[in-house]
Structure 1
Amino acid sequence: MSELMTPTLAGAAAGLGVAMPMGAMSVLLLQEAMRDRRTAVAAAAGIAAVDLGYAALATALGPWVASHISPVEAWVRLASAVILLVIAARGLAGARPPGVGAAASDSGLGASAGSGSGSGAGSGAGQVGVFVQARPGKAFVRYVGLTALNPTTALYFAALTTAQGAALRTGAAGGAFLLGVGAASLLWQQALVTLGSLAGTRIPDRARIWTFRLGYGLVAAYAVKIALPLP
């Protein structure tokens, strides 16, 4: 058991290393938690699932992953930036004071900032129930797709696993490494969900709208940052 502790701790460090930097996905996850905790829990699981998936791929095929993603990295970054800009635009358009644009759609990541209020009395109970049941699953899939667009995560794990070489080639050591990656990433993302959920219950609606505007502004800025230099 002790021989598996080293790869487990290495995996935990790798998971935290890729999860802790507060990039665009962290901002989106915090805002998701301010709207609806159940949706954010699913979204956090989606992010952690991609981290684990890339780590598993890199553990098995580290050098191959790096050599095949590097040539198209700039184009993948550009596609990711375009998607993030669309999300930011929708989010900024939906961030309006309570009572304004009440009919606006609350689907997708660009949902109205006020849609997460737990006291929504204007809609039927049946509609609310259906929406709440469907939304976490959609959020999981959506965040899996968005996180997977980041080639840096794949290259990050490819570099780590290639550097460790034969140490992770055995099934037990590789499994311990992946356990550490998945657990650390999931715990960090769920910590962000808790932080966002607590903030969402303690700030006024108008103040929350401004945090959404600031957050989506950061997402837009991050999108421009990752797009440069252009292919």
Structure 2
Amino acid sequence: MSASLAGMHPLADALALGLLAGLALALPVGPVALLVVSAGLTRGFRVAAGAALGVAAVDAAYAGLAVTVGGRLAAALDGHLPLVRTAAALALLGVAAHGLRRTLATPSAAERAAVLPATVLPATARPELAQSARAFGRFVALTAVNPLTALAVASIAVALGPHLAGPARFAFVLGVAAASAAWQLVLAAAGSVLRARLGPRARTAVSLAGHACVVVLAAVIALG
């Protein structure tokens, strides 16, 4: 690997490694991925896109830590893993409870309007930007305490940290961000496609199933 990075195009090599690492972080279907799909299903693509970019931002930040702090990050996480697991499980349970309550609640007039085509709604009835920003913040916090992401980045730190220096680190982090954002946006789009094609009862059933899976995964994380 070090020989590859020492070749004619070290920045391109680092970018390619970042893309592969970003896909390795993003592709496994876990609780956060399920919640991104659920956001697209229940809130539409624009809000889900905010959530997707929040996940990608944390993946990129963790990648930056991985290539600068390296093995020290892995050691620090290993020493506090029970606390990280507990915090992650509680965060996931909170998000799942909020999602289940929202799914089961009787839709308000504003929520009923949200499922209408955007072309028939006035601009004041579509605060997607604010909702997207809130989704971004929620998913930044949720992904930051997810031990699965943290442990995956710690592994990357041990493997790649010593082989990346200077501008190559920036190229690597850029690759991670691009790959993670691309995949998370695919999940957001998948949820929004289901939103458009499924009826209200089917959307409710899928959303309930997704949040129930998050509850199960929270229990698995808490139990180690």
Q: Name the residue aligned to 1:203.
A: 198
Query: Is contact 2:66-2:161 (8 Å) kept?
Result: no
Who is 2:128 aligned against?
Answer: 132
Secondary structure, counterpart of 1:95 in structure 2: helix
1:154 aligns with 2:150: yes
5 Å-filtered alignment, 1:71-86, equals 71-86=79-94
What are the equivalent positions in structure 2 for 1:168-179 lying under 5 Å apart? 168=164, 170-179=165-174
Q: Which runs of 4+ in 1 moved over 6 A?
A: none
Structure 1 CA distance for aligned equivalents of residues 24 and 59 of structure 2: 11
Instruction: Return the alpha-carbon distance in structure 1 between the equivalents of residues 167 and 213 of structure 2.
Output: 41
The 2-side partners of 1:45 and 1:94 are apart by 22
Which residue identity does 1:189 align to in structure 2?
Q
Deviations 1:131-178 (A, max 9, x none): 43311111111110000001332332232232234320x212212211
Q: Is the 8 A contact 1:9 1:180 kept in 2?
A: yes
Does the alignment pair 1:102 with 2:98? no
- Of all paired residues, the percent bearing the same amino acid is 37
Aligned partners of 2:23 and 2:176 also within 8 Å: yes
Which residue of 160, 167, 175 corresponds with 1:164?
A: 160
Shift, 1:196, TM fit: 1.1
Residue 69 of structure 1: aligned partner? 77
Specify every segment of 5 or more residues in structure 1 that has no aligned partner in the other structure, as ranges. 107-113
Whether the aligned pair in 1 keeps the contact of 2:68 and 2:161 (CA below 8 Å) is no
What is the alpha-carbon distance in structure 2 between the residues aligned to residue 177 and residue 188 of structure 1? Answer: 17
Mapped contact 1:167–1:173 kept (Cα < 8 A): no
Amino acid at match of 1:172: P
Q: What is the number of equivalent residue pairs in this alignment? A: 214
Change (3 A) 1:116 1:222: farther
Provide the rounded CA distance (Å) in 1 between the counterparts of 2:123 and 2:189.
27
Unaligned 5+ residue runs, structure 2? 1-7
Alpha-carbon contact 1:59-1:158 (below 8 Å) kept: no
Q: 1:88 is matched with which residue: 89, 96, 99?
A: 96
TM superposition score normalised by structure 2: 0.86
Distance 1:115 1:18, change over 3 A: farther
Which of 136, 143, 146 aligns to 2:139? It is: 143
After superposition, the Cα gap between the structure-2 partners of 1:70 and 1:116, relative to the gap in structure 1 and judged at 3 Å, is farther
| CA apart distance, 1:119 | 5.6
CA shift in 2, pair 1:95/1:152, >3 Å: closer
The CA deviation at 1:55 is 0.4
Q: Structure 1 residue 24 and structure 2 residue 19: aligned?
A: no
Letter in 1 for 2:107: A
Is the CA contact (8 Å cut-off) linking 2:44 and 2:191 kept in structure 1?
Answer: no
2:116 corresponds to which residue?
118
Q: Helix, strand or coil: the match of 2:80? A: helix
Q: Name the structure 2 match of 1:111.
A: none
| CA RMSD, 1 decimal | 2.3
